[in-house]
Structure 1
Amino acid sequence: MADPTTPLPAFAVSARYFDGQSAGARVVRGVAEQMKGRLQIVDEESGRLLEEWPLEELRMIRDPGFGDGIVFFREGHDEARLNVASAQDAAALEAVAPNLRKVSVAKGTTRKVLFWTGGAVAALLLILFVILPTLSDTLAGLISPEQEETIGTTVVAQMEGMLGSHNGSGFCTSDAGQAALDKMAERLTGHIELPYPLKLKVIRHPMVNAFAAPGGHIVIVSGLLDKADSPEEVAGVLAHEIGHVYNRDPLRITLRTAGSAGILSMILGDFAGGALVLVISQQLMQASFSREAEAGADVFAFEALREAELPTEGIARFFEKLRDRYGDSEGAMEYLASHPNLASRAIAARAAESRGKDDFEPVLSAAEWDALKVICK
């Protein structure tokens, strides 16, 4: 068996040569000399030497229009082609050309790729963080209250499904409990004009939470009622959610999330882990906007409680309960969290106090508070 490191003697292959300047092809023989590291292309008819290519610069491609043959060319001289139809001749050339399958990258290509990639990322960030929020705010102003209420109905139904019930089965019904909740809302909103009537509901779930949806929908999760020690704590949370309604925050957030989700889905595609990346990306995008909205709703709540002659101590205590139960967001986690730091929110609530902690008329009577607490029992 021949030593593969031993240079092969000169050999010739039959081919058709295209110079890239004219349409015609010439029948040639390619004389490969491994010792001299060259491939001479000789015209079969005249015997004239047409070109001489260094073997180390020889490259190959498969051309679908050339059947099973192989097309050879010289790196950096893409216009000229050598079409070799014989598989045996092509294999012989492949044996002496060391870089035949090497893919060359033109000088400066990496820099260009990085430049255009950076431009694409910058454009995406501009769309997600500047154009999309601005567009969402503009669209929010164009959507009528009636349309927003319809959107809110859909959002509430989706949230119900996330909390484990469907078609309204998770919502609690109690005449006395609902009346108590409505009375609480009336005391908080008697001095303001909302863009649409409030639609208050309580849903059965152990989560300690409440949320506002577009169109005046506010849902209290029963876990919040279970953990509250006074109706004033619930009133503080409700005032906060009414602040979102008043500022139309839910509609803007809904529009922005829908837009960002659509853009990221197109870019990320459906690949393993893509859903997780999408959720994380949305959380990062919404963090600063949501914190701004949450802070604004807190300020609204403090003012609403003052106008209703209710203390802010209740909502301050509730923030502290959430912190004790779930922990607080500090440092990097505070940046990622959609809500501001709970300890700072409690401090802000107490700083907004304008009356004594006990100098107020309770927002609900003892019987009304009991009825609201057991609305889902």
Structure 2
Amino acid sequence: MTSPQSTLPVFGGRYFDGQTAGERDVEVSLDKPGGWLIIRRDQSSGASIPQENWDLDDMRVVRDHGHEEGEVFRLTGKDEARLFVPNQVDADALRDACQYLRKADVPAGTLSKVFFWTGGAVAAMLLILFVLLPNLADTMATLIPAKREEAIGETVVAQIEQTMKFANSGQFCSTSEAEAAIAKMSDRLTDELDLPYPLKIRIMKTEMINAFAAPGGHIVFFSGLIDKADTPEEVAGVLAHEIAHVVARDPLRIALRAAGSAGILSMVLGDFAGGTLVLIMAEQVMQASYTREAEAQADEFALRLLKDAGLPAEAFAAFFDKLREEYGDTDGAMEYLSSHPNLASRAAAARAAETQPDAFEPVLSETEWAALQSVCKSSGR
């Protein structure tokens, strides 16, 4: 910009330096071509003020200045000083000359501070979600009474049933013959176990090949899994795996983690209704997204149950093979991103265990196995 001109139209104003009390009458010259506002002391008042040259591009208007007429201006970088132009015509002329009057000034370093505090907030949330909440959930799982855990599981299973009904499936199937068969299988596997609550095993009608354990000893088999199995020993292997999760209280841990995560997210994204929270818990339990370590431990526990029950691990391995044929497997890097170890390694581990290599007593008779397989075809529910 050019230097301020010395002969320009002059108008009056009042100047506040922000350092001392009081105000000073000043003469103001607008050098629009040069891009300057020149502020001099008012000779008639004898007030002493050094001449100041304000860059028009750096001037800002002060909103809500408390004057009915006129305008108050400030200079960026010199926020404590104020210039009041009482004559509205002069103020309007100054407004027309300053093109950035209402520009929002961002102090130096603000952007870096925003990134710093945002990063800190994200890091804190990740710490809560992935470190503190899991540890807190693990601790709480050991403190919740068995009766309370059973009630939580009942609520979660009811929510899953309601959700599955939207896909024209999800109703529970039951016949006295099937219930007797599944009870016989369960008793054989848990004969030596001291469970904190009785197992509550149900079969849900859906083509999905899955089973899951909910808090409080609730275990749900999908009928698609039973249809896919060739022998009752394959189902027994899956049941042993879910019993392992029940004993370790893994379903309660995952439900508590889901509830805790939902609580944190509700503070960020808005309030969650109670029904939504139960839905999140139910989804987590049904997906059974346990850690790889928890899944490996459940497999090991299941193999011990099969050995104690005199049942072959080969049937368990065979079921892993079927799942692999149906859904494929996770290998290489993807194996480490999956919550479960890959199916091939699980099948190999089961075969290596050799829980019952010789002849064994079938877990169910042919009649009992037929009753179990037909439960969702012959039941009235």
Q: In 2, are the aligned partners of 1:140 and 1:252 still within 8 Å (CA)?
A: yes
Counterpart CA distance in 2 for 1:261 and 1:351 is 41
How do residues 1-377 of structure 1 correspond to structure 2 at under 5 angstroms? 10-12=8-10, 15-22=13-20, 24-26=22-24, 28=26, 30-42=28-40, 46=45, 48=47, 49=49, 52=52, 53-63=54-64, 70-84=71-85, 89-164=90-165, 170-269=171-270, 290-331=291-332, 333-356=334-357, 359-377=359-377
Counterpart CA distance in 1 for 2:69 and 2:193 is 81
Structure 1 residues 209 and 95, CA gap change in structure 2 (3 angstroms) = same
Counterpart code for 1:234:
V
Q: In 1, are the aligned partners of 2:311 and 2:355 still within 8 Å (CA)?
A: no
Counterpart code for 1:75:
T
Structure 1 residues 51 and 124, CA gap change in structure 2 (3 angstroms) = farther
Counterpart CA distance in 2 for 1:186 and 1:325 is 30
106-115 vs 235-244, which moves further = 106-115
Counterpart CA distance in 1 for 2:87 and 2:227 is 84
Shift of 1:51: 5.2
Counterpart CA distance in 2 for 1:141 and 1:199 is 20
Secondary structure of the structure 1 residue equivalent to 2:362:
coil
Shift of 1:22: 4.7
Q: In 2, are the aligned partners of 1:58 and 1:99 still within 8 Å (CA)?
A: yes
Structure 1 residues 64 and 31, CA gap change in structure 2 (3 angstroms) = closer
Instruction: Give the alignment's Cα RMSD to 1 decimal.
Output: 3.1
Shift of 1:69: 6.3
Q: Deviations over 1:150-185 (max 9, x none)?
A: 10110101111121179x981112000011001101
Percent same amino acid among aligned pairs? 58
Counterpart code for 2:365:
S
Counterpart code for 1:155:
V
Secondary structure of the structure 2 residue equivalent to 1:306:
helix
116-125 vs 78-87, which moves further = 78-87
Counterpart CA distance in 1 for 2:87 and 2:222 is 77
Shift of 1:327: 2.0
Q: In 2, are the aligned partners of 1:10 and 1:34 still within 8 Å (CA)?
A: no
Q: In 1, are the aligned partners of 2:27 and 2:39 still within 8 Å (CA)?
A: yes
Structure 1 residues 218 and 15, CA gap change in structure 2 (3 angstroms) = farther
Q: Deviations over 1:275-334 (max 9, x none)?
A: 9xxx9xx99xx9985322222211111111111111111221212211211222345543
Counterpart code for 2:313:
T
Q: In 1, are the aligned partners of 2:41 and 2:51 still within 8 Å (CA)?
A: no
115-124 vs 327-336, which moves further = 327-336
Counterpart code for 2:174:
T
Paired position in structure 2 for 1:3: none
Secondary structure of the structure 2 residue equivalent to 1:218:
strand
Counterpart code for 2:30:
A
Counterpart CA distance in 2 for 1:349 and 1:96 is 84
Counterpart code for 2:199:
L
Secondary structure of the structure 1 residue equivalent to 2:172:
coil
Structure 1 residues 252 and 86, CA gap change in structure 2 (3 angstroms) = farther
Structure 1 residues 37 and 64, CA gap change in structure 2 (3 angstroms) = closer
Shift of 1:78: 1.2
Q: Deviations over 1:191-214 (max 9, x none)?
A: 111121101111111111111110
Structure 1 residues 142 and 15, CA gap change in structure 2 (3 angstroms) = farther
Counterpart CA distance in 2 for 1:69 and 1:350 is 90
Q: Deviations over 1:211-257 (max 9, x none)?
A: 11100000111111111111011101111110110000011100011
Counterpart CA distance in 1 for 2:326 and 2:86 is 77
Q: In 1, are the aligned partners of 2:62 and 2:72 still within 8 Å (CA)?
A: yes
Counterpart CA distance in 1 for 2:35 and 2:375 is 91
Counterpart CA distance in 1 for 2:51 and 2:373 is 93
Shift of 1:89: 4.2
Which consecutive unaligned segments of at least 5 residues does structure 1 have?
1-6
Which consecutive unaligned segments of at least 5 residues does structure 2 have?
none
Q: In 2, are the aligned partners of 1:62 and 1:69 still within 8 Å (CA)?
A: no
Structure 1 residues 115 and 236, CA gap change in structure 2 (3 angstroms) = same
Q: Deviations over 1:54-105 (max 9, x none)?
A: 2232123423755786542111111122345666544432433354344443
Counterpart code for 1:33:
D
Counterpart CA distance in 2 for 1:340 and 1:310 is 23
Structure 1 residues 227 and 71, CA gap change in structure 2 (3 angstroms) = farther
Counterpart CA distance in 1 for 2:89 and 2:327 is 73
178-187 vs 73-82, which moves further = 73-82
Counterpart CA distance in 2 for 1:366 and 1:302 is 24
Counterpart code for 1:359:
A
The count of residues paired between Structure 1 and Structure 2 equals 357
Counterpart CA distance in 1 for 2:9 and 2:233 is 97
Shift of 1:364: 0.5
Structure 1 residues 169 and 120, CA gap change in structure 2 (3 angstroms) = closer
Structure 1 residues 78 and 191, CA gap change in structure 2 (3 angstroms) = same
